[in-house]
Structure 1
């Protein structure tokens, strides 16, 4: 029967083709799918014989899609995505519990003001676990993590919470003193963000006085700034509520952008696309 060779193509063959094409390597596709390199190669070989055409040009240390393989790939991706989305919609069990791991600063300053929106989006129990964001230790039992960096993690779902921008802030009462703000005490925060050294280099501000207060969390440093203990080089998105209420005031108009920020990350095994959309929407809207 004409066309019968295309009937009932084994799904595992097609998945092997899509993974190898996306990763650009049989070996990388094997790692992703939990198979051996020879199993990936064998499945793609079976698929090519069934289709009657070569899908890859095999070279000594690399592979490349043929014209036929490149033309077929977007159709395969569309079909697999449709299959996954329909499976989630029809058979996926909605999570009634969610665990979010983040720093104390993010939980207090970013998530808490959005709790109403978050609880409506999740519709179940939410557990917060504080974590040190600089660690790379795995948290296999965490559904969602919020980490500081540039987004170069392997998880399927990744979304920056905001664009990081730094600027000096202080309690208004401290700024009313009859002295230049550059001479006021400074507050520093340990961690991956730019600090006073970078700010001084950018703006030409004197590097003295050296900060007399240093904290290992941004939330603690912000509390000290609210108490009038000094000038803090702050993350403007994280202290937006204090600036809006007048508890803190910006000093000048200069800002220091930073290429890294907080990212919301999760794997597709833990959340469906719909759940991820609701979660990221609740936490990334201003």
Structure 2
């Protein structure tokens, strides 16, 4: 291809090129924009003629980026994101809705109880809570802002720590160490891990095994035994006296509860300020 004097190519061509490069084909880009594959191919051909370089290798089984295409794609993506973000910053309206997803028990303990305070500071904002019944992949959920439990290291996700997971023996008033131990199955450390780390001797097994912290805390509240309970999730139960911490060592884990969102999502300054305000409302770091 002959090289011509360069300027800024039409935005439409760049957007189609970005989609084809990101999605790996002209057909996928055509579906995203509601165009025909021929229309996508024409726009990319026009862009290649403008640049004087081939951006895609066309083969019978599909297309793939050339070396020049692979180098150009991230530059185009960064520029389109910056343009979208800055346009939103200058001309966009303030967000009218904030939507957050998470496991039902996590939302109940860490989010819902603090929504009144957040609403008082943002009275015109509509809050939408999406409860998840199970752990799922980020791509399975449409809600981009999510509350998650884990290490905080998720590919292509930004994350802010809401609360470190601290486990400690808890029981209803009137129960003490020596009562049956409630077993919790799942990703958190259990009684044997707590015993190995603290050097404390367990008092024997129990008759109840559950698979969620929510059920374990409720069983303990009802006097069914001692639970190795999550301090962040049991915060209100402890404050009201429904549960009490026994005089035994805590176990601070390497995991916690995180507010997370896609790193590549263009977030305007208004959205960033809103997410930061929401984070400051639900975060309990340093507030214990």
TM-score, normalised via structure 2 length: 0.64
Pairing 1:80–2:88 present: no
Q: 1:249 aligns with which of 222, 245, 268?
A: 245
Pairing 1:212–2:207 present: yes
Larger displacement relative to structure 2 (27-36 or 232-241): 27-36
Aligned to 2:67: 66
Give the length in aligned residue pairs: 273
CA contact (8 A) 2:183 2:209 kept: yes
Task: Quote how far apart the aligned CAs of 1:84 are.
Answer: 0.6
How many Å separate the matches in 2 of 1:39 and 1:87?
Answer: 27
Task: Quote how far apart the aligned CAs of 1:47 are.
Answer: 1.2
Gaps of 5+ in 2: none
Aligned to 1:199: 193
CA contact (8 A) 1:215 1:221 kept: yes
Task: Quote how far apart the aligned CAs of 1:113 are.
Answer: 4.6
Residue-by-residue CA offset, 1:82-140 (whole Å, 9 max, x unaligned): 32123323443444344444444223311135325532257423244544133679676
CA contact (8 A) 2:169 2:245 kept: yes
Gaps of 5+ in 1: none
1:95-106 matches, within 5 Å, as: 95-106=95-106
Q: CA RMSD in A?
A: 5.0
Distance 1:129 1:67, change over 3 A: closer
Residue-by-residue CA offset, 1:8-51 (whole Å, 9 max, x unaligned): 62213212333455x48336963894567776555333212111
Residue 111 of structure 2 aligns to a residue whose secondary structure is helix
How many Å separate the matches in 2 of 1:5 and 1:127?
Answer: 51
Pairing 1:225–2:224 present: no
How many Å separate the matches in 2 of 1:208 and 1:32?
Answer: 62
